[in-house]
Structure 1
Amino acid sequence: MFKTQRESSEFLQEFMPKLEQTPPEREVVLCVPFTDLGVMSKNLHNSRVQLGAQNIHWADEGAFTGEISGPMLTELGLRYVVVGHSERRQYFGETDKTVNQRLLAAQRHGLIPILCVGETKQQRDAGEAESHISQQLVEGLVDVDQQQLVIAYEPIWAIGTGDTCEATEANRIMGLIRSQLKVADVPIQYGGSVKPANIDQIMAQPEIDGVLVGGASLDPGGFARIVNYQ
């Protein structure tokens, strides 16, 4: 929940020129607050940057005050939507069942959902990380088309805490996630205190296809360094 429309436009003015040397095969996606989607859609039209939302409701319309629907998002030319982010699960009662409903709604409207999974510090300390993530995948992916899917592994204990998940450990967990999928080449991203200082090490891991960047994406220079990892 950052950046007004004005601040979003200022961000793009500084960020977009830094992508001129970015390899063309790298996909760059900005998942912004709902109020920024309109102005971002106009500013990113015909650019190399794709636009995404931070949530989607399972119904196309109805008495769901404060939610947003697939048709509202697709009208703005979106391609992606984040589903089941750890903060939605932690603060807003998201469950694996509602995550599944949102995933299906996204795909029904031609959006590619970015499914977030991951464990808390308590679950990790109890040795339950693998079983918890496995359960999130089993329940979340019912009837989901894995050809139109991105998965993001968020070690919740490493987000904004100063604790870091070693790149090799993230790689191990992501290998376990991949082993549970029916489609082997689903893009799997890492999300957990990604920053310019650790991006090169993270992206050197064989199972990591990309990153889901939180706070470090707010600075256009720093985020461009992440996009232009070596």
Structure 2
Amino acid sequence: MAKRGKTYLQSLSEYDKTRLYDAKEALEIVLKTAKAKFDETIELSIRLGVDPRHADQQVRGTVVLPHGTGKSKKVLVLAKGDKAREAQEAGAEFVGAEEMLEKIEKENWFDYDVIIATPDMMGAVGRLGRVLGPKGLMPNPKSGTVTFDVAKAVSEVKAGKIEYRVDKTGIVHVPIGKKSFGVDKLFENYQTIMEAIIKAKPAAAKGQYIKSVVLSSTMGPGVKVVPQRAA
């Protein structure tokens, strides 16, 4: 196990690691123990009672956080003609078609955070699945990134839309904002994402759905939160 720094160990001594805190109290502790010299990202980790190996127990979706994530996302839109123009007007940083795919393939170009594509581009995009898939960049209709309504998709990403999905260990990891947001804004973002994940409960999930919830900052220790009950 990696040796922990003095600041991290000091942070651990400032609260009871074995206790479950309500979300607001947990956020207060997380902010107090976020001692890095930069504006740390506040992360939420939720362990779910699902088996992600089964298709009917996948948990995946998108949600627009009321206060965004504090990170301005660069958007690449793969579209032609009018749709390309709409994307530019909506504020996409990069817009193009096959020439963009060629740039990704030949130059290993990844200077963007999200790719939005019109459905007619997906045949060409699919050929780069082995490159885009592992980086989580492959456009997907479920996350709203394969659409003809490119202007709306770009606007939502810019407004703080995030994608959440359960990983192979049954955990969802999502950012809920920056330390500078303060407790109230982070709490509103937290509630929004928790409601979305509870709503996304698969019918095939049995037993306790929300197993554990942990809040942490980029460099700080995790604080356990009382898990909300799914209806």
Q: TM-score scaled to structure 1, two decimals?
A: 0.29
> Relative contact order (C-alpha < 8 Å, sep 6+): which is higher?
2
Q: TM-score scaled to structure 2, two decimals?
A: 0.29
Question: By percentage of residues, which structure has more helix?
Answer: 1
